[in-house]
Structure 1
Amino acid sequence: MILILIVVVFAIAGFVVSRKLKSKFKQYSQVALKANLSGAEIAKLMLADNNISDVQVLSVEGQLTDHYNPANKTVNLSPDVYYGRNAAAAAVASHECGHAVQHATSYTWLNLRSTLVPLQNSAGKILNFVLLASLFGGFALG
């Protein structure tokens, strides 16, 4: 019973955060930039301003799928951000380029995060299995 309650609480929290993020993105997508630059152009300028020439800026499918990949040194921007010429696109593109700047300067906390990501991914898969097994009576947790 406690397990189900935990799952419900985290599902609701995830839903609320996701809706809030999408709502803010939609709100600030209506705010035009004076410079009329796209998210991709802003990202490239930010990388150049920080003397980073080995990171590519790419467009990836999806909505709010934006991320920096330190393994292949790419800033991956969703189409709304890559082509967008608004405050939301500028903010997201700048945020992702911030990770590239952190990577280029060997920022300690980014290195720790990069080390922990594979562990978190594995733990997430294991916890999904544990959750499903416990829900279907495979074994009981507490």
Structure 2
Amino acid sequence: MFFFDPTFILLIPALLLALWAQIMVQSNFSKYSNVRSRIGMTGSELARFILDSAGLYDVRIESIPGTLTDHYDPRTKVVRLSQSTYNSYSVAALGVVAHEIGHAIQHANHYVPLVVRNAIAPVASFSSNLAWIFFIIGIFTGAMGLAQFGILLFLAVVLFSIITLPVEFNASSRALKILERNLLMSKDELKGVKAVLSAAAMTYVADTLMAIMQLIRMLLIARNRD
């Protein structure tokens, strides 16, 4: 059967890395959520302070449900903070918030990888939904043109995953610098922030590895069916 072909073994390293990254994210966030920062600001207060300090008065802050659902929406210029960070004084929460503000600053500064990622995001979203449909139909019907078109669509997903890496790593780097220089966060607190953000970054590495392995798998299957 297609779904149980030997190429599936290529996905095992990515699956293991993704599992490990998720465990580390939950573990580090839980650990440092119990450490109150001496800065004395909640996540929302920190977000407003950093945004105003950067001159980004037009960027709004909203509270949303969930845990670690924090994100920056460049289309509406809104930083959305989860219930786990919005009113929290913890080191973990402030680190996550500073990371999202890092994305807002990237957007304001026209950070090139972010501009590229935002440009290809619609294509990647479209491609992720249809790539495997075209590929599977092509493989099972022998219409290799369809299979190759599916591979081409999935290539957009891989490119999106790759360009996401510098965007996320840069946002974390900006967050650490902001917390250290602007707010004089202590070294032990910065260590906690770095642990949380490093674990989160590994989830993006795992996603990228998975996308690359899936692309290789598609190429191998197509070659064997050709």
- The TM-score range, normalised by the shorter chain, is 0.7 to 0.9
Q: Is structure 2 residue 32 aligned with structure 1 residue 66?
A: no
Question: SS state of the match for residue 82, structure 1?
Answer: coil
Alignment RMSD, CA only? 2.2
Question: SS state of the match for residue 41, structure 1?
Answer: helix
Alignment of 1:32-111 (within 5 A): 32-111=36-115
Q: Is structure 2 residue 28 aligned with structure 1 residue 20?
A: no
Of structures 1 and 2, the larger Rg is shown by 2
C-alpha distance in 2 between matches for 1:120 and 1:51: 32
Q: Mean alpha-carbon deviation: is it higher for 39-48 or for 7-16?
A: 7-16
1:11–1:121 Cα change, 3 Å: farther
C-alpha distance in 2 between matches for 1:44 and 1:3: 49
C-alpha distance in 2 between matches for 1:129 and 1:19: 31
1:71–1:28 Cα change, 3 Å: same
C-alpha distance in 2 between matches for 1:4 and 1:48: 49
**Equivalent AA in structure 2 for residue 57 of structure 1:** I
**Equivalent AA in structure 1 for residue 55 of structure 2:** N
Q: Which runs of 5+ in 2 are unaligned?
A: 142-220
Measured against aligned partners, the alpha-carbon deviations of 1:46-101 in whole angstroms (never above 9, x if no partner) come to: 10000001111111122211111101111111110111111111100000001101
Measured against aligned partners, the alpha-carbon deviations of 1:17-49 in whole angstroms (never above 9, x if no partner) come to: 111111111111121111321111101101000
2:130 to 83, 104, 126: 126
Greater helix percent: which structure?
2
1:129–1:63 Cα change, 3 Å: farther
Question: SS state of the match for residue 85, structure 2?
Answer: helix
1:2–1:40 Cα change, 3 Å: farther
Structure 2 counterpart of 1:117: 121
Note the C-alpha offset of 1:8. Answer: 4.1
Structure 1 counterpart of 2:211: none
Q: Which runs of 5+ in 1 are unaligned?
A: none
Measured against aligned partners, the alpha-carbon deviations of 1:110-139 in whole angstroms (never above 9, x if no partner) come to: 1112112222222322345468x58xx956
Q: Is structure 2 residue 33 aligned with structure 1 residue 29?
A: yes
**Equivalent AA in structure 1 for residue 110 of structure 2:** S
